[in-house]
């Protein structure tokens, strides 16, 4: 058992899937497009261009904040974060500093542990840099298609103390934003990005004098690896009686380690000041209440409801609610299935077992299930053989039935079904039994 307790805080960036960018009307659907074909004077940082914020993006940011139980700042604004880097065309990023849209939220993990959400704010994405060596010379190529695409930044308190919880949090966050329909949150595509801040303390509750930021973790499968590696690296240093350097490190997936990036002698001074080109954003208590009531049922609630309404197990409910679209389709199928005596459990089982079935609508799903159930009909001869077998093994029941105790038939139906071992139409068996017994 390690004498050190990890202290981990997370910064996640979620790219919103709006039609247009955050501060201009260029299409935000930039992935895979030819370089610099989705730009305009605003997102290219040309002289004289001015930003105008995307209404939908702000609403979606507030929805994310509400889904994370945040308080919403009724008076909010944008601020300029000033620094120089080639992928930042204006030499500043329009972001939020002291009045983010959301603050002081929380999310509860399956263990019951609550993670504090410090803030949820709106900002714009940067362009993309590609490093190359041409004729022995190191150059970078820049594509600004991604510049100014809307990003929501979600920052947690340093409440995590293990990598598993971090993974669970990320999965929950991914499900939430997918349920809200505001982002595809695909780590591999870069529309959900994670930067954990990691340190170790040997005095629980006391923050050490350093923390390490880790970048470039672009897949769920690396989250656990990167954090574990980093914790181990830091522990080794601490064991030597030294303090790990406060720095930014990059996860290197080829080498399975973290590598130091630029060591900054001083923290970057972003010289935040209120964005003069954009008037403040205000909301009323009523408007926020309306946003809140328009939140779709999120996964946690849906799971609970499926368990009570449809008598499904927690596992089955969880499986049926991984994506909102699938959950909606399932629920619709349950409605249709009710008319045809197909249970929710049957539908759930079908979905879980038949992974290769393609069904686009709930109607198609039910149709497939019906066909499948019919397939389980017995060959009459096989059925007859089983009936004979069951009757011969249950003479007393047969006698009882023949002497008028009709309810015994259900016992015999049950015996037959057990013997068949497949799901079959009980009515068919009942009728066949009655026939045999008469």
Report helix, strand or coil for 131. strand
Cβ(211)–Cβ(200) below 8 Å? no
CA angle, residues 304, 309, 315, in degrees to nearest 5: 45
Residue 25 in the binding site for another protein (CB under 8 A)? yes
Take residue 69 and report the two structure tokens written for it: 């139980």
User: Do you know the residue count of the chain?
Assistant: 438
User: Which member of 144, 229, 306, 310 binds another protein (CB under 8 A)?
Assistant: 144
Q: Which stretch binds another protein (CB under 8 A): 163-171, 265-273, 295-303, 369-377?
A: 265-273
Q: Which stretch binds another protein (CB under 8 A): 112-120, 133-141, 226-234, 307-315?
A: 133-141
Query: Which of 227, 226, 232 shows the shortest CA–CA distance to 254?
Result: 226
Number of C-beta neighbours around residue 329 at 10 A: 20
Residue 49 in the binding site for another protein (CB under 8 A)? yes
CA angle, residues 229, 220, 65, in degrees to nearest 5: 110
Q: x/- contact string, 363-402, with another protein (CB under 8 A)?
A: ----------------------------------------
User: Which member of 9, 10, 14, 18 binds another protein (CB under 8 A)?
Assistant: 18
Q: x/- contact string, 398-437, with another protein (CB under 8 A)?
A: ----------------------------------------
Q: Which stretch binds another protein (CB under 8 A): 81-89, 101-109, 226-234, 359-367?
A: 81-89
Residue 173 in the binding site for another protein (CB under 8 A)? no
Take residue 326 and report the two structure tokens written for it: 């699938």
Residue 280 in the binding site for another protein (CB under 8 A)? yes
395-402 and 380-393 helices, crossing angle to 10°: 100
Report helix, strand or coil for 130. strand
User: Which member of 2, 3, 71, 86 binds another protein (CB under 8 A)?
Assistant: 86
Q: Which stretch binds another protein (CB under 8 A): 136-144, 288-296, 359-367, 406-414?
A: 136-144
Which residue is listed with tokens 């080109």? Answer: 277
Residue 90 in the binding site for another protein (CB under 8 A)? yes
Taking the complex as a whole, the smallest distance from the CB of residue 429 to another protein amounts, in Å, to 59
Residue 181 in the binding site for another protein (CB under 8 A)? no
Query: Which of 331, 76, 297 shows the shortest CA–CA distance to 181?
Result: 297
Beta strand 247-252 pairing with 212-215:
parallel
CA distances (Å), 253 to each of 11, 133, 225, 286, 340, in order? Answer: 20, 21, 9, 48, 52
Residue 129 in the binding site for another protein (CB under 8 A)? yes
Summarize as ranges the residues that interact with another protein (CB under 8 A): 18-20, 25-29, 34-41, 44-58, 80, 82, 84-86, 89-92, 129-131, 133, 137-144, 215-216, 250, 252, 259, 261-262, 269, 271, 273-274, 276-282
């Amino acid at each position: 058992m390690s004498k050190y307790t990890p202290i981990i805080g997370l910064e996640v960036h979620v790219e919103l899937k709006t039609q247009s960018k955050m501060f201009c009307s260029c299409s935000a659907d930039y992935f895979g497009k030819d370089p610099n074909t989705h730009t305009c004077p605003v997102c290219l940082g040309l002289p004289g261009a001015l930003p105008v914020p995307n209404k939908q993006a702000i609403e979606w940011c507030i929805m994310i904040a509400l889904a994370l139980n945040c308080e919403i700042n009724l008076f909010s604004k944008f601020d300029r974060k000033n620094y120089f880097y080639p992928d930042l065309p204006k030499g500043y990023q329009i972001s939020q500093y002291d009045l983010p849209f959301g603050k002081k939220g929380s999310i509860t993990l399956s263990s019951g542990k609550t993670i504090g959400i410090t803030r949820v704010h709106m900002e714009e994405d940067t362009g993309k840099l590609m490093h190359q060596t041409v004729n022995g010379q190191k150059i970078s190529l820049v594509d600004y298609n991604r510049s100014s695409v809307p990003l929501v930044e979600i920052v947690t308190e340093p409440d995590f103390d293990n990598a598993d919880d971090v993974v669970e949090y990320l999965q929950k966050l991914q499900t939430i934003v997918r349920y809200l329909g505001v982002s595809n949150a695909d780590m591999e595509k870069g529309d959900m990005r994670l930067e954990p801040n990691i340190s170790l303390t040997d005095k629980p509750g006391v923050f050490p004098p350093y923390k390490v930021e880790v970048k470039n973790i672009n897949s769920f499968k690396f989250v656990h690896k990167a954090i574990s590696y980093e914790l181990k690296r830091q522990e080794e240093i601490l064991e030597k009686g030294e303090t790990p350097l406060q720095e930014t490190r990059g996860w290197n997936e080829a080498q399975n380690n973290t590598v130091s990036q630029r060591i900054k002698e001083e923290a970057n001074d972003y010289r935040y000041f209120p964005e003069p080109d954009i008037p403040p954003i205000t909301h009323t208590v009523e408007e926020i209440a309306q946003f809140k009531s328009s939140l779709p049922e999120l996964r946690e609630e849906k799971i609970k409801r499926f368990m009570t309404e449809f008598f499904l197990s927690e596992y089955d409910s969880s499986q049926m609610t991984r994506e909102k679209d699938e959950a909606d389709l399932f629920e619709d199928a349950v409605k249709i299935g009710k008319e045809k005596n197909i249970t929710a459990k049957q539908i759930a089982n079908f979905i879980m077992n038949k992974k290769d079935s393609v069904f686009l609508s709930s109607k198609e799903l039910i149709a497939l299930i019906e066909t499948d159930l019919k397939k389980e009909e017995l060959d009459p001869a096989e059925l007859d053989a089983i009936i004979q077998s069951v009757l011969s093994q249950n003479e007393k029941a047969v006698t009882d039935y023949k002497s008028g105790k009709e309810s015994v038939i259900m016992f015999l139906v049950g015996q037959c079904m057990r013997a068949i071992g497949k799901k079959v139409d009980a009515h068919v068996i009942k009728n066949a039994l009655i026939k045999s017994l008469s």
